[in-house]
Amino acid sequence: MNVKIATEWNPLISSEFQKPYFTQLAQFVRSEYNQHTCYPKGKEIFAAFEHCSPQKAKVVIIGQDPYHGPGQANGLCFSVKQGTAHPPSLVNIFKEIEQDIGQPYPENGDLQRWAEQGVLLLNAVLTVRARQPGSHQNKGWELFTDAVIQKLSAQQKGLIFMLWGGFAKKKAALIDPERHFILRAGHPSPLSANRGYWFGNKHFSQANELLQRQGLDGIQW
């Protein structure tokens, strides 16, 4: 596995790469990519770390695993490549932004523009086999991304964690609420959103208010 991340991450997570679980995980991922179609592309597996350094991070959004359809996943949670149709969860994210802060619904679903402003778009599992959601769960990725969350919590201050849905909300146990802000809502998937658990959460305006209170620029959502 060719690990490509911003060098600023090395002090936080390089030790994870030396642990037995990560060696086994790397072997599994290589085997999967050699034998099956998997997403995202190998060079994009660590895109969340490539585009947002820990020092620049302001907001952390936690997803579950990458999109499993062709041409969708780009290594950033909830994000798709430019020109790709927006999956339902991303549609609902953009609709909430539109309602919350009046930002027009965008044509481009690539959220790299958020990452470059300091939004860490972190899936708990960084790879998936094509058309098989959850196929790379419980192989070691969760150990790695949980360690990332814990170390960010311990070493940074004032981060805004957006936890959407039951899976993400469980990650609150890894975060020090005395040091950081935790915003919780239902998942933006249609099943949750149509039951009233997503729309109206106002996370995007809340995040910018919390950033501005700390003397930081808000995110251009």
65 is catalytic: yes
Q: What is the pLDDT of residue 5?
A: 76
209: enclosing H helix or E strand: helix 203-213
Q: What is the pLDDT of residue 50?
A: 94
Q: What is the pLDDT of residue 83?
A: 94
Contacts of 18 (CB under 8 A, 6+ apart): none
Distance, in Å, from the CA atom of 185 to the CA atom of 203, rounded to the nearest integer, reads 8
Nearest to 80 by CA among 88, 129, 191: 88
Q: What is the pLDDT of residue 141?
A: 98
Q: What is the pLDDT of residue 60?
A: 98
User: pLDDT tens digits for the chain (221 residues)?
Assistant: 566 677 899 999 999 999 999 999 999 999 999 999 999 999 999 999 999 999 999 999 999 999 999 999 999 999 999 999 999 999 999 999 999 999 999 999 999 999 999 999 999 999 999 999 999 999 999 999 999 999 999 999 999 999 999 999 999 999 999 999 999 999 999 999 988 999 999 999 999 999 999 999 999 99
Q: What is the pLDDT of residue 132?
A: 97
Amino acid identity of residue 97, one-letter, is I
Query: Of these residues, 65, 110, 146, 217, which one is catalytic?
Result: 65
Q: What is the 3-state secondary structure (H, E, C) of 20-71?
A: HHHHHHHHHHHHHHHHCCEECCHHHCCHHHHHCCCCCCCEEEEECCCCCCCC
How many CB atoms are closer than 10 A to CB 164?
A: 27
Q: What is the pLDDT of residue 69?
A: 95
Length of the chain: 221
How many CB atoms are closer than 10 A to CB 197?
A: 17
Distance, in Å, from the CA atom of 148 to the CA atom of 171, rounded to the nearest integer, reads 11
- Any idea what DSSP says for residue 106? P
Beta strands in 68-180 (DSSP E): 119-123, 128-129, 160-164
User: How confident is the model over 169-212, as pLDDT tens digits?
Assistant: 999 999 999 999 999 999 999 999 988 999 999 999 999 999 99
